[in-house]
Amino acid sequence: MTTPPSALLGPAEIRDLAGRLGVRPTKTLGQNFVHDGGTVRKIVRTAGVREGERVVEVGPGLGSLTLGLLEAGADVVAVEIDPVLARQLPDTVAGRGDGLSERLTVVLQDALRVEELPGEPPTALVANLPYNVAVPVLLTFLERFASLERVLVMVQAEVADRIAAPPGSRTYGIPSVKAAWYAEAHRAGTVGRSVFWPVPNVDSALVALERREPPTTRATREQVFAVVDAAFAQRRKTLRAALSRHAGSSAAAERALVRAGIDPQARGETVDVHGFARIAEALLDADVPTDAPVDAPAGTPAGTPADGQDGVA
C-alpha cells in the first residue's frame, strides 16, 4: 500500500515537529531538513526507486525523504545518529499512512561506524547527506555494502562537482578518483536553497552513481588509495615529486610511473583511476610499501582528504 500525496511533510509540519521534539538543526551534524514535497519526489524519481526495493537512507532527520521513499513502495532502512530523531521517525511514519511502518527499519548509529544492516541487503542508497561528512559516508557505504547497485545523494553542489569530475578538470581530486573506483558518477540535478529549513549557506546538487567493477589490478584498494592520497597531498607538484616520499625516492617514483605508462612530469589531476591502479601495481612490483599512510600538508584537519575536498559546509 502506497501513501496518499498528503503524506509528505510540509514546511509548517517540519517546524512544528522540530519544535515539539526540541530539535534545533545543528551545523555540527550537518542538519538541513527538506520541507518541499516536489523536491522529495524529484529525488525519488531521479533515483529510480522501484516498488519493493530495499533502500538505505542515511540521515533521515524528521522523515521528509523517508516518506517519499515509502510512498514509492520501497522498504527503507534509515540510519540516524541523533537518538531523538531516530525514536521519532517510526511514529512520524505511522501517522502518515497505514502499513508504512512495516516497511521501515531505523538504525540508531553513526553512519561511518555501520558494519552491517538488518534485513535484506539494500540495492540503493538514497539520501540527503549531512554536508560535513558527505564524502566519507558515501565512500564508506560503497566499500562496505557491495549490494548497492546505485546511489543518489544530495550534497553540497561543490562536492557533487568534485565527486563527478573527470580527469583533467579543475575540480578533479581525491573524491573523484575514489568514487570512480566503485562507480560511474554524474551530476543529476540542482536543488534550490529555499526547500531547506534552515536555509543553508551553500547550493545543493544531486549526484548519481552506478556501481561498476573496480580496475583490474594486483594492488589492493588500500594500496591504490594510498597512492591517490600521496598524489594529491601537494597537487601542484608533478607526480614524480609528489610520490617521491611514498616511493622512497624521486628516482623510484619515476621508475614506477614509467612502468605504469604515466608521464613523471604529469600531475595527479590528469590521471584516471586505472592509471593510479597501474602506479600502485608498479610500486608493488618494486617492493615499495604502497599502503603506507600519507602525511597531510600543514593546516589539513585530521581525517580530511589532503586536497580539502571532503565537502564540509
Q: Which residues are annotated as a binding site for S-adenosyl-L-methionine?
A: 32, 34, 59, 80, 110, 128
The rounded distance, in Å, linking the Cα atoms of 287 and 65 is 49
Query: What are the residues whose beta carbons fall under 8 Å from the beta carbon of 8, sequence distance 6 or more?
Result: 37, 40, 41, 64, 67, 68, 71, 96
Helix axes 221-233, 174-182, angle to 10 degrees: 160
DSSP state of 266: -
Cα–Cα distances in angstroms (integers) from residue 191 to residues 41, 157, 176, 216, 309, in the given order: 12, 9, 21, 36, 20
- 191: which 3 cell numbers? 536543488
DSSP state of 133: G
The rounded distance, in Å, linking the Cα atoms of 173 and 206 is 19
Bridge partners of 85, per DSSP, are: none
- 125: which 3 cell numbers? 542508497
Query: What are the residues whose beta carbons fall under 8 Å from the beta carbon of 220, sequence distance 6 or more?
Result: 291
The rounded distance, in Å, linking the Cα atoms of 37 and 77 is 20
The rounded distance, in Å, linking the Cα atoms of 96 and 40 is 15
Name the residue among 60, 96, 63, 50 with its Cα closest to residue 81.
Answer: 60
Residues annotated within a binding site? 32, 34, 59, 80, 110, 128
Q: Is 178 left (phi over 0), alpha (psi -120 to 50) or beta?
A: alpha
